[in-house]
Amino acid sequence: MIKKELDLLGIKSENPGTSTGTKWFAKGNKITSFSPVDGKEIAAVLSTTRKEYDKVIETAQKAASAWKDIPAPKRGEIVRQLGEQLRILKPTLGKLVSYEMGKSYQEGMGEVQEMIDICDFAVGLSRQLYGNTIHSERPGHRMYDQYHPLGIVGIITAFNFPVAVWAWNAALALVCGDVVLWKPSEKTPLCAIACQHIIADILKKNNLPEGISSVVSGDAETGKWISEDKRVALVSATGSTRMGKAVAVTVAGRLGKSLLELGGNNAIIVTPNADLKMTIIGAVFGAVGTAGQRCTSTRRLIIHEDIYKKVKDALVAAYKQIKIGDPLDVKNHMGPLIDTQAVDMYTEAIAKVKEQGGKILVEGAVLSGKGYESGCYVKPVIAEVENHFDIVQSETFAPILYLIKYSGGVENAIALQNDVAQGLSSAIMTSNLREAELFLSNKGSDCGIANVNIGTSGAEIGGAFGGEKETGGGRESGSDAWKLYMRRQTNTINYTTELPLAQGIRFDL
């Protein structure tokens, strides 16, 4: 189905899954990538053995000392070239993302656009890695802080953003003077092979050494090698809260640095002052886009009782129009789930909603027949629930939207919105300034992302991205997220012939 794209991206039927740049190794078990679009085998990747992993790390260590010596704006130039190449390959890579992961072609291209955007951001950043100057309390002294590269940054990624999350991390880490080692999801290994080919060509053209950008392939075990490895200065891990808790403990055990981007349980509050047209579009896209497999997908709608019925009826009507099918066909709104395991989780979640007292308003189903041969296509569900149900409290990575009613003031809705373990994305639909400002205040949303009059889903690369509580606390992408990829050093310089001590302490000899 995408043979031309695979050829252009350098993907063969069987690919070595370990690379330090132009060098590729292959000894481990075979990971076969099946498309959730049609269930067909796309290609296979040979996973990384422990011996190969150590070889990759040794090469990365050598590369780290060479790379950090290259001035930051020159490192930015390499990232600029990456962005340029991604512009050329956007439709090709976008199609692979869509076919391997199952998101729509538009969303696949959108993901590549995010890679381009973060490259552009990082190029500018390469001339802006600023520290502060600080006035010293001692005469004839100057103080400042500066940022140095960390070394090796390990990047562990989830299946649902198989290329963008790598780029968010890699573009920043590279301009910051770090080298990167990527362990992609075992569910989308080919996207990583494609990206590694793209960056390896650029590094080679610029006569740069092996090890600046590496890839290792495998499952959780390979991820564990990275989190246990003292040679990896920062572990940036994106995935489930379960994975994040394991990585956090392991990395903290060696006092390493971690940056965690974990699960969400995102809500939109719909007040009586909401624009209902905008609300319905935002909620439906947020809940069914990427088949509910975005970390920022809308899981809960917290709706005021006065407008509850109106919103509910409009949503049920909108869901009837959703076209489910091949995500490469632009006529369809929703593609498949990633695999049949995800379908089982969806089915189990619906059963739990019923068991726990929820009322299903739009019934789910696993689709079969022509066009649905992969067994990964499901119908999106709407259920009326209460916020405290166990199933509502946890993230189900599927298109299940929960409707929750609130009464009284917006503070009651905010309390429900915050009453979950996760803290990634949140939104309020209102044209009332007081409600909006309260939601954004310290008494408001406890999430890393809080929006007014847009949904929970999607984010621009210019802002720092991430969430609180069980979402892990990490921040990636824009704003000053780059500081996590560097170590800060405070410098004090005495340009006098005296040695005054701080805080006026005397030490006479």
Q: Of the candidates 117, 261, 339, 470, which one interacts with ligand NAD according to CB under 6 A?
A: 261
Least separation in angstroms between residue 356's CB and ligand NAD is 21
Of 95-103, 157-165, 327-335, 478-486, the segment contacting ligand NAD by CB under 6 A is 157-165
- Per-residue x/- mask for ligand NAD, residues 406 to 435, rule CB under 6 A? ------------------x-----------
> In whole angstroms, what is the distance from residue 2 CA to residue 254 CA?
44
Regarding 182 and contact with ligand NAD (CB under 6 A), the answer is: no
Binding-site size for ligand NAD (CB under 6 A) equals 30
Span 487-506, contacts to ligand NAD by CB under 6 A = none
The SS3 assignment for 29 reads coil
DSSP string, 463-491: SEE--EETT-S--EESTTGGGGGEEEEEE
Choice between 227 and 426, CB closer to ligand NAD:
227
Does 376 contact ligand NAD by CB under 6 A?
no
Type and span of the H or E element at 197 = helix 189-205
CA angle 223, 229, 230 (to 5 degrees): 150
**For residues 457 and 297, is the Cβ–Cβ distance under 8 A?**
yes
Q: Of residues 185, 196, 214, 477, which one binds ligand NAD by CB under 6 A?
A: 185
468 binds ligand NAD (CB under 6 A): no
Per CB under 6 A, contacts with ligand NAD among 186-245 are 186, 219-220, 223-224, 227, 238-240, 243
Query: Interface mask (CB under 6 A) for ligand NAD, residues 270-309, using x and -?
Result: -------------------------x--------------
Cβ of residue 456: shortest distance to ligand NAD, in angstroms?
A: 12
Taking the least distance from each CB to ligand NAD, the nearer of 92 and 265 is 265
Q: Are 319 and 362 in contact, with CB atoms under 8 Å apart?
A: yes
Tell me how far the alpha carbon of residue 97 is from its chain's centroid.
Answer: 15
Q: Indicate the residue among 153 and 410 with the shorter CB distance to ligand NAD.
A: 153
Q: What angle do CA 293, 217, 249 make, to 5 degrees?
A: 70
**Strand, helix or coil for residue 272:** coil
Shortest distance, position 3 Cβ to ligand NAD, whole Å? 27
Residue nearest to ligand NAD (CB): 223
For CA atoms 255, 261, 265, 266, give the dihedral sign: positive
Q: Which is nearer to ligand NAD, 86 or 295 (CB)?
A: 295
Q: Annotated catalytic residue: which of 111, 261, 395, 476?
A: 261
Please state, in angstroms and rounded to a whole number, the distance separating the CA atoms of residues 358 and 43: 42
One-letter amino acid of 398: A
The closest of 53, 472, 503 to 240, measured between CA atoms, is 472
Residue 161 touches ligand NAD, criterion: CB under 6 A? yes
Is 84 one of the annotated active-site residues of the chain?
Answer: no
Q: Contacting ligand NAD (CB under 6 A), which of 15, 271, 396, 471?
A: 471
**What's the chain's length in residues?**
509
Give min distance, CB of 499 to ligand NAD, in A.
49
Q: Report the residue number, 223 or 325, with the smaller CB distance to ligand NAD.
A: 223
Per DSSP, the three-state class of 230 is coil
SS3 418: helix
Of residues 314-373, those binding ligand NAD (CB under 6 A): none
Distance CA 120, CA 125 (A): 9
Reference 259, options 475, 486, 478, 479; nearest CA is 475
- The interaxial angle of helices 72-101 and 105-125, nearest 10 deg, is 170
CB of 66 to ligand NAD, least distance (A): 28
Least distance in Å: CB of 162 to ligand NAD?
9
Beta carbons of 262 and 239 less than 8 angstroms apart: yes
SS (H, E, C) 353-380: HHHCCCEEEECCCECCCCCCCCCCCECC
Nearer to ligand NAD, 90 or 187 (CB): 187
111 touching ligand NAD, by CB under 6 A: no
Complex with ligand NAD: residue 37 or 259, whichever CB lies closer: 259
The residues annotated with a catalytic role in the active site are 261
Name the site residues for ligand NAD (rule: CB under 6 A). Answer: 156-161, 183, 185-186, 219-220, 223-224, 227, 238-240, 243, 246-247, 261-264, 295, 395, 397, 424, 467, 471
